[in-house]
Amino acid sequence: MKLLFLGSGSAFTVGADNFQSNMLLLDEKGNKLLLDCGSDIRFSLHAAGFSYRDITDIYISHLHADHVGGLEYIGFTTFFNERCTKPNLYASKDVVTDLWDRCLSGGMRDIGDDIADLTTYFDVKKISKNGYFIWQQYKFELVRAIHVHNSFYLMPSYGLFFEIEGLRVFVTTDTQLSLDENGECYESADLIFHDCETSTHRTAVHANYQDLRCLPARYKSKMWLYGYQPGHLPNAREDGFLGFVKRGQVFDLTLASLTSNYGCWAREGLKDMSPGGLRFCPEIRSNELKKTLEP
C-alpha cells in the first residue's frame, strides 16, 4: 500500500511547486482511495499522472474548500462519462448532512432535464458517530479533530487512524494540536502525518510549528509535517521530526510493515511515481534515521 501526497501545502498555496494537501492511497491491485478532494484536485491529479477516471473512492474530512472544492469536478466528469462508475463517497454523517446544501448544490443541482442531489453523482457512505469504514478490507477509523470552534459549536472534522499490515498510521487532516482529545492516537500510532502551520500569523485553527516542536521526542520522531504555507521552512529534522512532506512524495506502507522498527525512510525514485518518492528500508535501524535522510 502506497500513500501519495498529491499536494502538501495549505489551503491558499499558490506556486511553490505545490498544491493543497490531498492524498491518494493506492493498493497493489491499483485501487485508489482519495483522501479529501480540494479545489486544486484536477491540477494535482494531472501533475501526478492521474485523472478523474482513476477516482472510484473518496474520503472527505470536513467542508472547507481545500477538502471538498474538487467534488464538483469529480462529480460532473464521472457523471457525464459513461465509462465511469459512480464514485463511493465516505464521510461522517454530520459532514454529509451539510455537504450538499451548503457546498455543492448551487453548481450541481441542475443538470438539464432533472434536479440532482448528492446521490446523483456519488454512492454516499455515511459513517456514524465514533464509526469507521472499510476500504479494500482495511479498517479506517474516524478521529474527531479539533479544527474550528466558533464559540457556539465545533465544526465537524475528522482525521483517520488505520493499520496496514501491522503499521498503525494516523493522518490528522486539519487540526489544532489536541493531545487532550486525541492523545491515544499519538501514543499508539507508528507513523503520524500531521497538519502544520508555518505562518508567523497564528490562525488558531491549525497546529503551529512552534507548538509542535515542543512535543515530546517520542511523538516527533514518528511525525511527518504537511499543510504548511509557501516560503521558508524551518529545519524539521533538526527539531526531531521526520521532515516536511513534499508534493509527490510516496510512502510505501506495505514495505514499512516488514519490520517493527518503522522509523527509517530513504529517498528513492519510484518508476510509477514522483522521483521524490520515499521507500522504506527495513535494513536500516532507526538510530540512523537522520543520517539516512540527509540529502
DSSP line for 238-261? TTTSSEE--TT-EEEHHHHTT-S-
Strand order in the sheet with 158-164: 132-135, 138-144, 158-164, 167-171, 191-195, 223-226, 243-244
H/E segment holding residue 73? helix 71-79
H/E segment holding residue 99? helix 93-99
Q: Is 100 helix (H, G, I), strand (E, B) or coil?
A: helix
**pLDDT(245) > 60:** yes
pLDDT digits (tens, 9 = 90+) for 93-105: 999 999 999 999 9
* Structural domains for the chain: 2-293 (3.60.15.10)
Which percentage of the chain shows pLDDT scores above 70? 86
**pLDDT(9) > 50:** yes
For 176-195, what is the mean pLDDT?
Answer: 93
- What pTM value is reported for the model? 0.88
**pLDDT(277) > 80:** no
pLDDT attached to residue 278: 39
For 224-243, what is the mean pLDDT?
Answer: 96
Nine cell digits for residue 266: 530513504
pLDDT band at 295 (very low <50, low <70, confident <90, very high): very low
**pLDDT(271) > 80:** no
**Nearest partner of 61 among 123, 145, 137, judged by Cα:** 145
pLDDT digits (tens, 9 = 90+) for 88-147: 999 999 999 999 999 999 999 999 889 999 999 999 999 999 999 999 999 999 999 989
Distance of CA 239 to the CA centre of its chain: 23
Sign of the Cα torsion 238, 25, 42, 144 reads: negative
**Nearest partner of 290 among 257, 228, 243, 234, judged by Cα:** 243
Of 18-27, 49-58, 190-199, 251-260, minimum mean pLDDT range: 251-260
Which percentage of the chain shows pLDDT scores above 90? 78
In angstroms, rounded to a whole number, what is the distance separating the alpha carbons of residues 174 and 176? Answer: 7
**pLDDT(268) > 50:** no
In angstroms, rounded to a whole number, what is the distance separating the alpha carbons of residues 266 and 250? Answer: 11
Strand order in the sheet with 23-26: 123-127, 88-92, 57-60, 32-35, 23-26, 2-5, 250-252, 278-280, 265-267
pLDDT attached to residue 15: 84
pLDDT attached to residue 255: 64
pLDDT digits (tens, 9 = 90+) for 45-78: 999 999 999 999 999 999 999 999 999 999 999 9
Straight-line distance from the first to the last Cα atom of the chain, in angstroms, rounded to the nearest whole number = 25
Instruction: Classify residue 29 by its DSSP letter.
Output: T
H/E segment holding residue 78? helix 71-79
Q: Are 66 and 21 in contact (CB under 8 A)?
A: yes
Of 28-42, 112-126, 138-152, 271-285, minimum mean pLDDT range: 271-285
The strand pair at 167-171 and 191-195 is best described as: parallel
